[in-house]
Amino acid sequence: MMNATEERAGGAADRHVPVLLQRCVDLLAPALAAPGSVLVDCTLGMGGHTEGVLEQVPTARVIGIDRDPEALRLASERLARFGDRFTPVHAVYDEIGEVVSEHTADGPTPGAVQGVLMDLGVSSLQLDETVRGFAYSQDAPLDMRMDPTRGHTAADVLNTYDERELARILREYGEERFAARIARAIVRRRESEPWERSGDLVDLLRATIPAATRKTGGHPAKRTFQALRIEVNGEIEVLGRAVPAAIEALATDGRIVVESYHSLEDRIVKRALQRGTTSSAPPGLPVEPETHKPYLEALTRGAETADGPELERNPRSASVRLRAARRVRPTPDHLREARGTRARTGHEKPRKHQARKEDRR
């Protein structure tokens, strides 16, 4: 077993197997055929999907967004050979509209891109580095921040949220049937000692979840760790803003591909794409008005999953659900305005993105 220092020394290509890589490239490539076409990889990670696109689609360039500075560093090293065809940006991917506006001003379609890719959830980097606290298999500080330079940690959540709120996030984000029981145990334990280490949480979960239920569903800590990670990083709120923003960033004939890994993510993606592939005209009209016609065309029949060879090559693909669509026309004004109103009454984005200047040695 490698220690944390040895893990960080490994290159990105050695540590990351991108999920459904060829399928993603095949879906995106037709939109990237013209010289200067731009793909936004919203969840760059260690750059595996971006590398596949840059290798197989020589006309494309990629803007890679990630909130994790270490992921940006490793991906930039991996992709340095592509020169200015790759641009790393330190941001949260719901800021895609701002990123696209800034980095496409001199391109063939200013303010718009030809492709968007999202590979959601926790990255291999975050899972594999023990010190990040994402993995329940190793004892580590309870951090779980995708950007370790800002925001509250998993320990902060466990030490400050009340019992009802803890139960809610475990139930909603982890689909944990014993959410109330676990939340009660978490609060009781912190009365004598604050939460600091993941190993202590794993021990509590083993003691709290009935042994008879552990025979199915994987490790007893899996759902709680997922829920904490989602809460710490605001993943559901970010995704809810990001998918509509990504669709709006697409030029006509542009394509969006999204890989999700649990039902909450997939539901948000499915609804956003369905809104675009469904007519908004009132039922019963003899002729569908042009302004109510669908603005997206589905490229997948429902959600695609990993086949046998993919599962054998990459066990982390077991829960993937892939959906894709093509923009066929601009979003009608009445739908864009309605969505803008909803966005203004929701959560405000807490961060301003900043471009990452990487040394391409």
3-state secondary structure of 259: strand
Q: How many angstroms separate the CA atoms of 126 and 132, rounded?
A: 6
Name the E strands within the chain.
Answer: 37-41, 60-66, 86-90, 113-119, 250-260, 296-298, 321-327, 354-355
Q: CA nearest 41: which of 274, 242, 236, 231?
A: 242
Q: How many angstroms separate the CA atoms of 351 and 91, rounded?
A: 8
Is 93 annotated in a binding site? The answer is yes
DSSP 8-state code for residue 147: S
Is 14 annotated in a binding site? The answer is no
| Structure tokens given for 217 | 């569903």
Q: How many angstroms separate the CA atoms of 96 and 103, rounded?
A: 10
Do residues 99 and 356 make contact, with C-beta atoms less than 8 angstroms apart?
no
| Structure tokens given for 93 | 């991917």
Do residues 262 and 181 make contact, with C-beta atoms less than 8 angstroms apart?
no
3-state secondary structure of 354: strand
| Structure tokens given for 29 | 């490539």
3-state secondary structure of 149: coil
Is 66 annotated in a binding site? The answer is yes
Burial 24-52 (b: 16+ CB within 10 A, else e): bbebbbebbeeeebbbbbbbbbbbbbbbb
3-state secondary structure of 255: strand
Q: How many angstroms separate the CA atoms of 195 and 170, rounded?
A: 17
DSSP-assigned letters across all residues of 60-124: EEEEEEES-HHHHHHHHHHTGGGGGGEEEEES-GGGHHHHHHHHSTTSSSTT-EEEEEEE-S--H
Residue list, annotated binding site for S-adenosyl-L-methionine: 47-49, 66, 93, 119, 126
Residue list, annotated binding site: 47-49, 66, 93, 119, 126
